[in-house]
Chains A and B, each alone.
Chain A
Amino acid sequence: MGLRTTSKEMDQKSQAGPSGSNKSSVSLVSSLMRSWKITSNPSSQKSSNSNSNSYSNLSGNSSGDNRLNSGNFDAMSKQQTAAIKSSSSYSPLRYSTPVSGISVGESPRPLLYSNHRNGDHESSIKKDAYFKDLDEDWSAVIDDYNMPIPTIANGGISRSNSDNLTSTSLSKAYDPSLPLSRKVTNNSMKSSSSLGTNITQQGTAQSSHNLSYPQLPQLQKSVTSELKLQLEMENERELQKINSIMQRITKFDCIVSDKKIINQQELRQISWNGIPSIHRPKVWKLLIGYLPANTKRQESLARRKRQEYKDGIKHIFTEEHARDVPTWHQIEIDIPRTNPHIPLYQFKSVQNSLQRILYLWAIRHPASGYVQGINDIVTPFFQTFLTEYLPHSQIEDVEKLDPESYMTEEQIGDVEADTFWCLTKLLEQITDNYIHGQPGILKQVKNLSQLVKRIDVDLYNHFEAEHVEFIQFAFRWMNCLLLREFNMSAVIRMWDTYLAETSVETSSGSSTTFQSTGAAGTGSGESNPHTPLQPTNPTFQTPGSDYHSPSSHTNASSKNISSGENNRLRYSSLNEFHVFVCAAFLIKWSDKLMDMDFQEIITFLQNPPTAEWNENDIEMLLSEAYIWQSLYKDATSHWQ
């Protein structure tokens, strides 16, 4: 942010002193420090001409680009949508029309997947007005929350002891007394250094150049202007990327730590565009309504829910509990088959954890019970919550490390509990997907076909002609929330948005009920630890008597239906949005599919070429879904 190395600035650099030279040579480290100062401590800018120069860019063009890089597709989509709507001549029949405005494709990939970054420069002018607004909004945020500047400055510069930090966060993951800002500042430095080996290496190489300052002018002279321009562009892009990431981290920090009551709406808005990995565990718990918005209550509630879970597990292994053997065995069979390509899920401790979570969930929800696919859905939660116990430099290694190597048994139990409750909260919103006959899925598949009929009638007709039925490929999309279609990192990014899609009113509403009833539940749980939770909490559709005999389906399912209807009203947004994502996903391949016959279509859709998809691709998909949702909002009115 604010470090656009325009040629004008390049000229200025010789007069601007050391910091100016840094700018043109783009030392990653120093620019990181500097940019971070810019975003957090405007007053320090006045000390240096060149800095204030670049700061003035903050609310100018570059911020628009940064926003894009940071994945603010929400904003982009809104703008696109507005543009589309205002153009009366536009007929949204085929997909390519609206998208061509988003990304100007010079990439060899089809138009739809072209990297956002390619489009930035071409379209930045158009978007300036919009992003300027956002940017003002952003500076307002700084003023509003009075960021703890000194802490950040100290943390960013002098606190480099990662072991210290790790042990702190290990032992006090939920301690609100731990100043989060300190943690985060440290993290932000680290996370930005772990952005990718490319950047890191380049950064290191360049910073070593920087140390010997007098060589710099020679370096500059020796490169041709073209090369220089290319380098500039690259550096600029990387800087923007890093800056925007740091900006986001700081902003999340603001929202999550600085207030007594977390602003759920604000959190949802910013989370829609992706959550920094260091914030993800906590933000997910907030978004799904597991942790309350009231920060003072978070710790006690987490402790209580963890104890409840542990009591429930303890009960399973007592003799009083008549084990549901078929369910237990089914889960046991499926656990080794869950994410078989990811090492994490081959560790015995992880398999045991997942088995306990799934079994406890299944017996407490007898109307659905364990359904294949839930074993997939549990994994993003589990994996994400594990990262809370890893040093921030190792978050990306979570898929390779045995949790037993860095966590105590107690901590693993805590992660299990968090996972269990968040899984419960998520599945609560899609109850109809897993009850007998799976009406929720059938309905979603039908909605998808109707939507495609409206958005892309050619494709719809082609499917009809080839006798392709939507349920033949889309059943899995609904049953596993597209988890089987993407790699784990893409799925986790997608879930940032999905969890943010649970609508604000419902979630804050449910979190209050959760608190009050949760307290009642704990009371009974503590008085008699071997008694399972009474269904005081709306989470449980299971009548208490059903706990021991999960076979009494009639009673449970009637209860379930009523709560299902309730949920549909309260939680329509996630289900609805998912259908739009599926539509966007399908229409993405429209041109290809039009040339295929039945067999090729089914085979293609069963194995879509998404193995290499990264966060950018997912963000593109989500923003496309957002556009379709905005355009076809009326189509969904009868879905409820």
Chain B
Amino acid sequence: MNSNVTSVKLVLLGEAAVGKSSIVLRFVSNDFSENKEPTIGAAFLTQRVNIDDHTVKFEIWDTAGQERFASLAPMYYRNAQAALVVYDVSKPQSFIKARHWVKELQERASSDIIIALAGNKVDIVEDGGERKVATEEGQKLADEEGLLFFETSAKTGQNVNEVFLAIGEKIPIKKPNEHANNANADGSNDNNRVDITSSDNNAAAVSGCNC
């Protein structure tokens, strides 16, 4: 493991039940569960990925999607360097909500925040379910607003690691210990490593930290 670790604070935003927590669970633990309890407040998880010769450590705040909890969101995106806005390709309403989140982030988050857009649950479409948000729509929004764009499936794992890798590649490499919250950024204290390199659709070398 390379000792050059860049920490990235990432926030997940999106309507309730679009699969934010499931995407994180897939990314962090390479796991999936059909009925995950709704997130209350926000959940915190971390994961490391190796990109080229350095390591990016994602510190992920997975926020609750329900409108009532939206007032908490600024607390989590305020200092974020990256945001992943998620919608459900089978729910047009969730795409509208995603648009709102993108707008809010551009207005109120840090000006150099990297935003990625993820149309989740594409497995439903592949199983013959009805797609309500066309790939082109998502791509168009991404092009207009300068976002990274992926269609993902937390269930199958499709494109999940790719989203995070793409974000990680856009993060400028920094010296460790830059963040107050990250006292052990050199990785020496980490335990409970979870190796998710077995993931089929994982191009780069990814190693996990589930702590």
Contact = CB atoms under 8 A, between A and B. Distances in A.
Given A475-B72, A479-B41, A598 B182 contact: yes
Given A330-B16, A434-B68, A436-B68, A337 B181 contact: no
Given A471-B75, A603-B211, A606-B43, A371 B66 contact: yes
The main secondary structure of chain B at its interface with chain A is loop
A438 B183 contact: no
A599 B61 CA distance: 11
B40 A373 contact: yes
A243 B43 CA distance: 45
Interface residues of B, number: 30
Contacts of A338: 37
A336 interface: yes
Contacts of B38: 334, 337, 372-373, 375
Interface in A82-112: none
- Residue from B37, B66, B72 with most neighbouring chain A CB atoms (10 Å): B37
Given A330-B16, A438-B68, A603-B211, A598 B40 contact: no
A475 B41 contact: yes
Interface in B103-138: none
Nearest to B209: A599
Contacts of A376: 37
B37 A466 contact: no
A437 interface: yes
Nearest to B184: A597
Given A340-B36, A484-B40, A333 B16 contact: yes
A350 to B, nearest CB: 14
B180 interface: yes
Contacts of B64: 372
B37 A340 contact: yes
A106 B18 CA distance: 49
Interface residues of A, number: 36
Given A330-B16, A603-B211, A340 B40 contact: no
Contacts of A484: 37, 40
Contacts of A469: 75
B194 interface: no
B35 A340 contact: yes
Contacts of A170: none
Contacts of A373: 38, 40
Contacts of B43: 606
B182 A480 contact: no
B59 interface: yes
B25 interface: no
Interface in A554-600: 597-600
B46 interface: yes
Nearest to A598: B181
A472 B38 CA distance: 16
Interface of A: 330, 333-334, 336-340, 368-369, 371-373, 375-376, 434, 436-438, 466-467, 469, 471-472, 475-476, 479-480, 484, 597-600, 602-603, 606
Given A336-B35, A373-B40, 19 more contacts: A334-B16, A337-B17, A337-B38, A339-B37, A340-B33, A340-B35, A372-B64, A376-B37, A436-B68, A438-B71, A466-B183, A472-B41, A472-B42, A475-B42, A476-B41, A479-B40, A480-B40, A599-B184, A603-B44
